[in-house]
């Protein structure tokens, strides 16, 4: 029997990552679910995934910690290679530039960029050998348009957009496709405390997005239907930035 494809999703204990795990489980992927600290939520996601008849391996580690990434993934990669990697782990620490401290700057950049680098590089070596794979990076409207109060986050996501395009060009000949999905305002913990009366007028479709709106696009990008798409930034933002 042919082995099931594996999808490694970072930051999957809640929000967009959890919705991606559920969607890819429905698509028939076995899931490797990374998260940082919320074991309880991650276990709930695993239960949802397993309901779809696929497996869910929980992998708690900090994507910005190269040694932690290596010790979690290296033993697994000796036997298996994820077909898809979704670099979704990320967080925002908003404040105006004049007030931003070095920890707020470096922390946000590190999870987005070092996290992408450490996780992707390890899996990529195997993908290159297999001559197949899909990498999807979750970026943000902030990385496309720039957002006041988010100099760190906008820089991190714009950096990841650049990395997406460079890597896509680099590995296309080996049949590895690299794209980014760029959400606007999505209903998760990250946006929970934002003032909705100020946000809604910025969204032509008149509502915040749902995690599933983003997950559906990721599901498409890792499917056989997206075999001729690489190096693209697909916005899922209700028209917020066109
Ligand atoms: P969320 O609900 O806050 O969830 C974030 C997830 O990332 C959690 O599973 C968290 O794990 C994990 N995480 C954070 N830092 C990590 C680290 N260093 N190592 C491993 N895992 C880490 O966030 P979300 O709204 O779903 O956002 C997911 C992605 O979409 C992020 O990259 C974000 O920038 C992007 N995005 C979100 C929006 C939005 O409106 N929500 C818009 C544009 C882009 P634990 O909780 O277990 O620690």
Domain boundaries, the chain: 6-236
Place of tokens 């940082």: 36
What percentage of the chain has pLDDT greater than the value 90?
99
Q: How far apart are CA 133 and CA 126, in angstroms?
A: 9
Of the candidates 213, 28, 17, the residue with the CA atom closest to the CA atom of residue 115: 17
Closest atom, ligand 1, to C-alpha of 186: 40
CA atoms within 13 A on the CB side of 156: 31
Does the pLDDT of residue 145 top 70, yes or no?
A: yes
Residue 140 has pLDDT above 70, yes or no: yes
Evaluate if residue 1 carries a pLDDT over 90: no
Q: Cα(138) to centroid of ligand 1, in Å? A: 9
- Pocket flag, ligand 1, residue 91 (CB < 6 Å): yes
pLDDT band at 3 (very low <50, low <70, confident <90, very high): confident
Helices and strands counted in the chain (H then E):
9, 7
- Write the residue with the smallest CA distance to atom 31 of ligand 1: 90
Taking the model in full, what pTM does it have?
Answer: 0.98
Radius of gyration of the chain (CA): 17
With residue 180 as reference, give the H or E element that holds it. Answer: strand 176-183
Residue nearest to atom 29 of ligand 1 (CA): 88
Of 48, 50, 55, nearest to 3 by C-alpha is 55
Indicate whether residue 38 lines ligand 1 (CB < 6 A).
yes
Q: Is 45 helix (H, G, I), strand (E, B) or coil?
A: helix
* CATH entry 3.30.479.30 includes domain 6-236: no
Q: What is the mean pLDDT of the chain?
A: 97
Does residue 90's CB lie within 6 angstroms of at least one atom of ligand 1?
yes
- pLDDT > 70: percent of the chain: 99
What are 58's strand-pairing partners?
33
Nearest ligand 1 atom to the CA of 60 is 20
- What is the Cα–Cα distance from 60 to 142, expressed in whole angstroms? 27
Which residues carry out catalysis?
A: 153
User: Which tens digit of pLDDT belongs to each residue from 60-90?
Assistant: 999 999 999 999 999 999 999 999 999 999 9
Could you read off the pLDDT of 31-65 as tens digits, one per residue? 999 999 999 999 999 999 999 999 999 999 999 99
* Whether residue 64 has its Cβ less than 6 Å from ligand 1: yes
């Amino acid at each position: 029997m042919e082995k099931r494809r594996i999808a490694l999703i970072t930051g999957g204990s809640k929000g967009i990552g959890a919705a991606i795990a559920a969607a890819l489980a429905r698509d028939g992927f076995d899931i490797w679910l990374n998260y940082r600290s919320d074991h309880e939520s991650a276990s709930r996601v695993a239960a949802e995934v397993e309901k779809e008849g696929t497996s869910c391996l929980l992998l708690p580690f900090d994507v910005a910690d190269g040694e932690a990434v290596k010790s979690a993934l290296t033993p697994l990669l000796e036997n298996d290679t994820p077909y898809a990697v979704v670099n979704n782990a990320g967080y925002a620490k908003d404040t105006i530039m004049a007030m931003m401290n070095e920890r707020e700057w470096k922390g946000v950049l590190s999870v987005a960029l070092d996290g992408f680098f450490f996780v992707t590089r390890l899996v990529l070596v195997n993908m290159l050998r297999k001559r197949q794979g899909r990498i999807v990076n979750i970026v943000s409207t902030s990385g496309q348009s720039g957002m006041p109060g988010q100099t760190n986050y906008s820089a991190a996501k714009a950096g990841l957009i650049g990395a997406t395009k460079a890597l896509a060009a680099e590995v296309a000949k080996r049949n590895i496709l690299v794209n980014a999905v760029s959400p606007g305002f999505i209903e998760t913990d990250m946006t929970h405390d934002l003032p909705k009366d100020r946000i809604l007028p910025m969204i032509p479709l008149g509502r915040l997005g749902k995690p599933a709106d983003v997950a559906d696009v990721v599901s498409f990008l890792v499917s056989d239907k997206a075999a001729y798409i690489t190096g693209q930034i697909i916005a899922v933002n209700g028209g917020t930035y066109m």
